[in-house]
Structure 1
């Protein structure tokens, strides 16, 4: 198996593989857009007899975790021609990708799995889900007068970015969106209608990206920074009641829309979405903002990671009173009554905030003395995961 980095000269065979594997046919315009983005991605392929047989893309992103920006490697475009499958090529590409991301200091990685079980074998774990709603018009929230105003039309990218960033920082695992992300993915082709809620001081506090078509109001993004903006945006949506039969949207898994309706019997679905993986335990934890403590905390972690040997081993984690952390591998003898044993999947789920240490201990995903697990529980801030994007 020969792994090579793809260049723009490999664009055509790479796109042919993508179209076949993902069962899509791209227009010339779509292909040219992909071509322009090709060089900004780290793309690796497996060749046999000079032919591209499998590939994988590493897209450079940043993600918010507890309000801090982390470098993240987004795995996408994983594909193999059928005649080359069952040869372990994707496994080789994933291992190579981990080495590349570690070298590039991308301490965390996300991907959208075709199979959660498949990627768990290589250290990724579910980190986020969302709630999908279908709301009949008769069930929409009651219209409420708010002191602000709604303005339709294009408010300018800077306004959307400011509101989004303030919202996204409240969650773990949202993307830090640069202008290219907005223009090439979020606002692609200008198909979405836009509406912004401004408060009495004329400050944007929320926005909608949506479409009204065939009696359906499809919300692509609904972002609000406070309850006033939420009510204002939903009143705007409800004012379309003569034009539509239902509203569809997705929201954080903890969203309480149904509870706030007069008739909460609406269609709700919890959808497992993306997976995450800590690429480098040392890099990730060193920049991780733990909760402030009354006194310094010392925790010993025995990490299992068969696909990234630099993570495997026993780590001494020290959390200072202000929440800053230091971590290093230790060769000193450690007894079971001092150590939390955890694989990289469970450690990722816990530090991303998707699952709590005590819960993971209860279901047998981490092991250790009760006092140590309780200390880890108290050290990890509580924050929900969410992701609005797809890649």
Structure 2
């Protein structure tokens, strides 16, 4: 198996493979847009007799975790021609991608799986889900007067960025968006209409990106920083009641929209969304902002990671009283009754905040003494995961 980094000369065969594997036909405009973005991604391929047989993209992103920026490698565009499948080529590409991300200090990786079970084999684990609503017009929130104002139209990118950033850093796993992300992704699909809520002081506190078509109000993105902005935006949406029959949107899994309706019997779905994987235990945990304990915490972590051998082994984690951590791999024997045993998938789910150590222990995904698991529970801050983007 020969793995090579793709260059602009490989754009056409890479596009042909993507169109076949994902069953899409790109327009000329879409193709040229992909061509312009080709160099910004690390794209690796497996070749046989000079022909591209499989490929994988690593897109450089940054993500918020407890309000801190982490370098993240986004895995996308994984595809193989059918005649080359079942040869272990994707497994080889994923292992190579882990080595590349580790080398580039991308300590965490996200991907959108075609199969959760498949990517779990290589260390990724579910880290986020969202709630999808379909709200009939008759069930929309009651209209309420608010002291601020709604302004419909293009507010300028700086306004949207400011509101989004303030919102996104409240969650774990949201993307830190640069201008290119806004212009090439967020504002292109389903976001032809925009409305911003401003408070009495004239400061933007929320926005909605949406489309109204065929009597459906489709929300691409709705963000509010406080309850006043939420009420103002939903009143704006409800004022379309003569034009629409339903509103569709997605929200964090903990969202309370149904509870706040006069009639909460609306369609709701919980959708498992993206997976995450710690690429480097040492890099990730060294940067991680733990909760500030009453006294220093020391925990031994026995990590299993078959596909990233630099993570495999026993790590000594020390959390200082200010929440900063140091971690190093130890070759010294450690007592089993002082060690938490965890695979990389479970460790990722816990560190991202998607699952808590105590509940992971209850279902057998974490093993160790109660005292050590409780210490880990107290050390990891509680924060919900969310992701508004797709790649």
Using structure 2 for the length normalisation, give the TM-score.
1.00
Mapped to 1, the partners of 2:185 and 2:210 lie a distance apart of: 15
Give the C-alpha shift of residue 188 in structure 1.
Answer: 1.5
Give the C-alpha shift of residue 381 in structure 1.
Answer: 0.3
Give the C-alpha shift of residue 192 in structure 1.
Answer: 1.9
Structure 2 SS opposite 1:188 = coil
Q: Is the 8 A contact 2:356 2:377 kept in 1?
A: yes
Post-superposition Cα deviations, 1:314-344, rounded to whole Å, max 9, x if no partner, equal 0000000000000000011111100000000
Mapped to 1, the partners of 2:264 and 2:27 lie a distance apart of: 43
Mapped to 2, the partners of 1:288 and 1:92 lie a distance apart of: 29
* Corresponding residue number in structure 1 for 2:286: 286
Q: Is the 8 A contact 2:190 2:209 kept in 1?
A: no
Structure 1 SS opposite 2:308 = coil
**Alpha carbons of structure 1 residues 175 and 191: separation in structure 2 relative to 1, 3 Å:** closer
Give the C-alpha shift of residue 87 in structure 1.
Answer: 0.1
Structure 1 SS opposite 2:382 = coil
Mapped to 1, the partners of 2:206 and 2:71 lie a distance apart of: 27
Give the C-alpha shift of residue 190 in structure 1.
Answer: 8.1
Mapped to 2, the partners of 1:92 and 1:252 lie a distance apart of: 34
Give the C-alpha shift of residue 143 in structure 1.
Answer: 0.3
Post-superposition Cα deviations, 1:177-213, rounded to whole Å, max 9, x if no partner, equal 0000000000117852000000000000000000000
**Alpha carbons of structure 1 residues 111 and 262: separation in structure 2 relative to 1, 3 Å:** same
Mapped to 1, the partners of 2:192 and 2:206 lie a distance apart of: 16
Mapped to 2, the partners of 1:105 and 1:58 lie a distance apart of: 13
Mapped to 1, the partners of 2:336 and 2:304 lie a distance apart of: 15
Post-superposition Cα deviations, 1:266-319, rounded to whole Å, max 9, x if no partner, equal 000000000000000000000000001111000000000000000000000000
Structure 2 SS opposite 1:30 = helix
Structure 2 SS opposite 1:185 = helix
Mapped to 1, the partners of 2:241 and 2:299 lie a distance apart of: 56
* Corresponding residue number in structure 1 for 2:169: 169
Give the C-alpha shift of residue 20 in structure 1.
Answer: 0.1
* Corresponding residue number in structure 1 for 2:184: 184
Q: Higher mean Cα deviation, 219-228 or 190-199?
A: 190-199
Q: Is the 8 A contact 2:191 2:209 kept in 1?
A: no
Mapped to 1, the partners of 2:297 and 2:278 lie a distance apart of: 22
Q: Is the 8 A contact 2:353 2:385 kept in 1?
A: yes
Structure 2 unaligned runs (5+)? none
Q: Is the 8 A contact 2:191 2:220 kept in 1?
A: no
Post-superposition Cα deviations, 1:108-162, rounded to whole Å, max 9, x if no partner, equal 0000000000000000000000000000000000000000000000000000000
* Corresponding residue number in structure 2 for 1:319: 319
* Corresponding residue number in structure 2 for 1:203: 203
* Corresponding residue number in structure 1 for 2:30: 30
Q: Is the 8 A contact 2:190 2:210 kept in 1?
A: no
Mapped to 1, the partners of 2:192 and 2:148 lie a distance apart of: 23
Mapped to 2, the partners of 1:133 and 1:306 lie a distance apart of: 39
Structure 2 SS opposite 1:190 = coil
Structure 1 SS opposite 2:170 = coil
Q: Is the 8 A contact 2:190 2:220 kept in 1?
A: no
Q: Higher mean Cα deviation, 191-200 or 378-387?
A: 191-200
Mapped to 2, the partners of 1:359 and 1:27 lie a distance apart of: 48
Mapped to 2, the partners of 1:335 and 1:390 lie a distance apart of: 44
**Alpha carbons of structure 1 residues 263 and 204: separation in structure 2 relative to 1, 3 Å:** same
Mapped to 1, the partners of 2:310 and 2:36 lie a distance apart of: 35
Post-superposition Cα deviations, 1:73-117, rounded to whole Å, max 9, x if no partner, equal 000000000000000000000000000000000000000000000
Give the C-alpha shift of residue 50 in structure 1.
Answer: 0.3
Structure 1 segment 347-362 matched on structure 2, within 5 A: 347-362=347-362
Mapped to 2, the partners of 1:67 and 1:322 lie a distance apart of: 16
**Alpha carbons of structure 1 residues 143 and 190: separation in structure 2 relative to 1, 3 Å:** closer
Post-superposition Cα deviations, 1:29-75, rounded to whole Å, max 9, x if no partner, equal 00000000000000000000000000000000000000000000000
Q: Which runs of 4+ in 1 moved over 4 A?
A: none
